[in-house]
Structures are given as C-alpha cells and as structure tokens.
A and B are shown apart, each in its own frame.
Chain A
Amino acid sequence: MDLLHHLYTGFAIALTLNNILYCLAGVFMGQIVGVLPGIGAPTAIALLLPITFSANPTSALIMFAGIYYGVAYGGTITSVLINVPGESSTVMTCLDGYQMALKGRAGAALSIAAIGSWIAGTGSIIILMTFAPALAKFALRFGPPEYFCLAFMAFGLLTVFGGDQPIKTMITTLIGLFLATIGLDVVSGKPRFAFDIPQLLGGIDFIVIICGVFGVAEVFNSLEEPEEGELIKGKVRLRDLFLTMDEWIASRWAIVRGSVIGFFIGLIPAGGITTASFIAYLAEKRVSKRPERFGTGAIEGVAAPESANNAASISGFAPLLALGIPGSPTTAVMLAGFMMWGIRPGPLLFQTNANLVWGLIASMYVGNFLLLLMNIFLIPPFVAILRVPYTILMGFIVIFASVGAFSVNNNLFDVWMMLGFALLGYVMKKLQYPIVPLVLAMVLGRLAENSLRQALTISGGSLAIFFTRPFSLIFIAVGIFGYMTPVLRWALKGRRRVSVDVAPDS
C-alpha cells in the first residue's frame, strides 16, 4: 500500500503542467541528442546543468532523466536509417536495423525499437519502484568502510567494462581521483595541489571538467573524424511502421530477454547501457535457432539491444538514488546536479526527499509514453535535424560549455580550464584512454577519500576493518576481482595458447 501511496504522490507531482513540460523538453532534447552523432546524454546534461541552477530540482531532474532515456530512442533513428549510431548504445542496432531498412522495413525496425524500448522502460520502472526503496533501506546499514569498498568495487568494475586496455582505464581512474583531491582538504583545511592559485582552493568544479571532456572535446573529435552516412532513400510512412505477425512473434521474447539483461546490467556500477545492448544482442544470437540471420536484418537483432539499453538506462537510477553511486557517466553528471542543489542521493534520500524521488520515478512513465508517441509520429522531423550543418551545432556546444563553465563561479579562469580539459579529453580519446572512468572517479573521489579516512580513523589505522565486515568484504572482493581481470584474461589466453601449441605434438 505504501508503494501505491508513493506512486500516487509521484504522479501528482509528475503530472503538474510545469513538470509535464519539463519532461517533454527532456525527452525531446534527448531524442535530438540521440539523433545527432557526436553528442551524448552526459554532454547534453552537463551543458544544461549550470543553467538550471535556479530551477526547481525535481523539474530539472525530470528533464535530465528524460534526456537520458530519450537519447537511447533517438540514437536508433540514425542507426536504422544511415547506419551511423547516434549513440554508442545503439551500435548493435546498426547491424540488423540498417539491413532491415535496405530491405524496405525501416519502419518496422523503428517501430519495434520504440515498442521494445517502451515495454522495457515501463517494466524497468515497475521493478525500480520496488527495488530502489528496498536497496536504500538495506544501505542504511552501511558505514564508511562499506562506502569506501563500494567505490573501490565501482572502480574495479570499470577495469572490466571500461575498455580494451585496462591499464589506461586504471590511469584515467587515478587521474579522476587525483583531480577530486585538488583544493582545500575538508578535514584539515589545508590546501592540496592548489599552488597558491586562489581559484583552485575551492577545487576543480565537476561541471568545468564535464563541459570540457564531454562537450568541447567532442567538437574536436567530430571535426577530425565526422560520422557520415547516407540516408536511406524513400520516406518512412505511417503504414510502414506496422509490424507483421511474424515480426511480432519473432521479437516478443527478444524484448523480454533484452529487458531482463538490460535491467541487471544497468544496476552494476560501470555496467552502462552500451554494455547492456551489446550483451543482449549476443545473448539473442546465441539462443536463436537461426543465428546466421543476425546481421542480415533479423528483427530480434533490433528488439533485444533496444529493449536492453532502455531497461539499463532506467535501472541505472537504482544505485544512484539508493546508494549515491552513479553507474554511468550520465548518472554521474546527474549526481553532480543533485550536489549542485544541495541534495545528497543515498539511502536517506527516500525519506528526506521522497517527493523528488517519486516525482522523478513517476515522470519516467510519462516520458516513456511521450517517447513512444514521438517515435511513431515524429520520425521525419528528427531525420531533418541531421541536415543542420555541423559548424552551427559546434557553435552551440561551445556556447553552452563556455557559459556553463563561467556560471559555476562567475570567473574566466574556469572557462580557460574548461578549454584545457577539452584538449585533455581530445588527446585521451585519440590515444584510447577511456573518459568515463575519469568522470566517475572525479565524482566519487571525495566520497571514497572521506569514507577511507573515516574508516581508518575508526579502526585506528588498521586495514582489517575492510575485511571483517561482511558487506565491505564482498564489495572489496568483487573490486579486487575486477582489478585482477586483466591478469586472469592474460593467464587464460596464455593457457589456451599453450594447449593449442601442445595439441599437434600430443
């Protein structure tokens, strides 16, 4: 009954005209951002974050959440129609979506993506409603050792999911943690790495970094390597969006499997929506009786990853709201938003800011419904956005990034620092240093350091505190496993090579 009461309160908040408009603006922008290659949800939210200082936090978060799950819908359009993923989470959709479009079934591909995303999204919200409060209640038992170990586990899992080169993932994680230490130390009040520069005493603001590494750096990357594709000839008409009975039958279980996989991967810190769509596609191919159809226009190859990425984008809110631990760069930026408004996500959020949480959760139903309508009736206008010259788009990104960086402390030093981080982000991407770990480490850095110091103060400097409490032990074991994955992979690779080498002689 409590749940229904909370949901009722949430809908009462989400269905006010103001919040519906914020939600509509969010999903609309998310859809546009998804369509445009080169800009992702974290960039869009980071660029908008500083200009929502004075907005109502609930309304602004409803808008940001709309951008987040809207992006996954929007990215599908370019994946299907021009074989260019508007978002990394829709890469897998290109494989079969574009092939379907070449066969004249673009409408069906877009339709199943929208319907699958809607079913997955709605299902995930229902589970999130019950799961997140339970997780928050459970997390009330956590103390500083558990929080440090949770952050340690998140960093360890980044090594697993962060990219092909684990050492580079570790480097960017360490740099992110280092950036979080700059400024006055909260315990002793001593300046750290500020080098007598007054603007650095307060630390480097997260928004400045985000605007640089996600915003302007993307401008440089897109200018150098534009993602261009050829638009499928012929219009997508309303009647093309209807699915045949065979297509329905083929996709129904793919949607269910994709939703379940997506939901669970979204819960894992650093799991992310891209990993979810990738694993859902591979799983669907594995269970298929005719896996050879995948890559040639199988509708299950669109339904599964699209359902997975939407389910993951919704379930990613569970660790953020219940534990205060973001699982993806987008939720990391949203965490910065919470902090900007003086709200600390975590176990107490469901008690101290219940209206905000339930308003946000209820708005997801509204947002997913709006996206379903948009994706059935408004495909042509979104395709037209692709014709906007990139130089104009680039101008908008730099404007938002500059104003955003300036508005944090109203000084030009931050604007220059943003440009410095843009160059860093650009070079990192070229040299295949993943950016996501830097952002997550930067956001979690203060929490991790404060928890570590508090835990060691409690234990009198003994590290045993992390190994004698059950939950911290589990988290630290998973974290260590994450860090050891590259070594394990290397060892397994070596073993396989040996067995292959030995086999002919024996």
Chain B
Amino acid sequence: MWLADLISGLAVLTLGVGIVYFSTDLTYMSEYGPGPGFLPLYLGLGLIACGIAVAVKILKKPERAEKFFKPRTILNVYALIIIAVTFVLFPVFGFSIGLGLYVGATMRAIGKHRWLTCGLTAAVTAVCIHFVFGHWLDIPLPTGIVGGWIGW
C-alpha cells in the first residue's frame, strides 16, 4: 500500500502541474474581472502543494501492512473485463442484449451459477431492459446489429 500511496501522491502532483500548465494558456484576468484561467491556476497550485505533502508524509512513515492487491482483487479484474467487453460490443449487440449478456456472463464467471440459470437470466434481463428503458421510459438505446436483426 505504501507504493500505491506514494504513486497517488505523485499522480496528484502531476495532475496539479498539468492543470497549471494548461491554465496558463487561458486568460488569467480579463477587462471584466477574473478570466477562465483564474480559478484553475489556483486549483493546480493547491493540488501541487497537496501532492507534495502526501508524498513527503508517505516517504517519512513506515510501510502499512495492508496490501493494495487482495486475494479477491482478481474478481474485480474479471468484472472489469466483462464490463469493458460488453461496452466494446455495444455496436454489435446493442444495449439491451449486450447488458443481458453481461448479467449472464457475470453470474457465470463470478457467481458460478448454472449455465441454464445464467442463460435464462440473461434473456429475461435483455427483454426487460428493452421494454422498460427503450419503450416505457423512451430512452433511445442503441440496438446494434443483432438488435436490428430481431427488429428492436
């Protein structure tokens, strides 16, 4: 966790430097008063100061026993991969079918449910999303190529 804390402090510092750098391109003070670069400049400077403070504090203290990566962190990696793949495949499956497949995949990969349960839940979820969000709430969800084939 010590390294992760240190990296977070440095990331804050870098963000602060970036904000200060880009805010110098914006007007600091215009004829009507403070310009668009006024507040961001001070926010960036504040972040630089806080980033340095965090980094110094961490360098001074011994390592925390707690680990950043835990045994169950791998489940998050699975969850993230499934979510990312679902989002990538939205143009193919659309929102309703894509999110239905996501629920089925999560139940199988993380919950270890039976294939049949996962398949049925995925199908019911897809139909529910389509009718609740797409029809009832009138949200224009992308249907994707597959959704187009089945007339959604």
Q: Footprint of B on A, CB under 8 Å?
A: 51, 54, 167-168, 170-171, 174-175, 177-178, 181, 185, 187-188, 190, 192-193, 216, 219-220, 223-226, 389-392, 394-395, 398-399, 402-403, 406-407, 410, 412, 415-416, 419, 423, 426-427, 430-431, 433, 449, 452-454, 456-457, 461
16 A–B contacts, CB within 8 A, in A order = A171-B47, A174-B43, A190-B36, A192-B26, A193-B40, A223-B72, A223-B110, A224-B73, A389-B107, A391-B113, A399-B99, A403-B139, A415-B90, A452-B34, A453-B34, A457-B33
Q: Given the known A-B contacts A171-B54, A225-B70, A419-B83, are A178 and B40 also in contact in the complex, defined by CB atoms under 8 Å?
A: yes
B46 close to A174 (CB less than 8 A): yes
- Chain B nearest Cβ from A440, distance in angstroms: 15
B95 touches A406 (CB 8 A): yes
Give the nearest-CB partner of B12 in chain A: A171
Contact B139 A178 (CB under 8 A): no
Q: Is the CB of B141 within 8 A of A187?
A: no
Bound-complex Cα distance A175 to B83 (A): 26
A-B contact count (CB 8 A): 154
Whole-angstrom CA separation of A181 from B43 in the bound complex: 10
| B4 touches which of A216, A402, A431 (Cβ 8 Å) | A431
Instruction: Check: B14 CB closer than 8 A to any chain A CB.
Output: no
Residue of A nearest to B50 (CB): A171
Using known A-B contacts A51-B137, A190-B26, determine if residue A416 contacts B110 with beta carbons closer than 8 Å.
no
Residues in B50-106 with C-beta less than 8 Å from chain A: 50-51, 53-54, 57, 68, 70, 72-73, 75-76, 79-80, 83-84, 87, 90, 95, 99, 102-103, 106
Q: Which residues of A contact B138 (CB under 8 A)?
A: 54
Question: Which B residues have a C-beta under 8 Å from some C-beta of A?
Answer: 1, 4-5, 8, 12, 15, 19, 22-23, 26-27, 29-30, 32-40, 43-44, 46-47, 50-51, 53-54, 57, 68, 70, 72-73, 75-76, 79-80, 83-84, 87, 90, 95, 99, 102-103, 106-107, 110-111, 113, 121, 125, 129, 133, 137-142
CA distance A332 to B100 in the complex (A): 31
Which 6 pairs across A and B sit closest by C-beta, in order of nearness? A457-B33, A391-B111, A395-B103, A185-B36, A223-B75, A453-B34
Q: With A167-B50, A177-B39, A389-B111 in contact, do A461 and B33 touch (Cβ < 8 Å)?
A: yes
B57: contacting residue among A167, A224, A392, A427, CB under 8 A: A167
Once A181-B43, A193-B22, A416-B87 are accepted as A-B contacts, the answer to whether A403 and B129 lie under 8 Å apart by CB is yes
A contact residues around B83 at 8 Å (CB): 216, 398, 419
Q: Which residue of B lies closest to A186 (CB)?
A: B36
What residues of chain A lie closer than 8 Å to B32, measured between beta carbons?
187, 457
The smallest C-beta distance from B129 to any residue of chain A, in angstroms, reads 6
Nearest B-chain residue to A431, judged by Cβ? B8
Pairwise interchain contact B70-A224, C-beta atoms closer than 8 A:
yes
- Whole-angstrom CA separation of A403 from B40 in the bound complex: 32
Which of the listed residues B19, B38, B39, B103 has the most CB atoms from chain A within 10 Å of its own CB? B39
Known: A403-B129, A407-B139, A430-B68. A395 touches B50 (CB 8 A): no
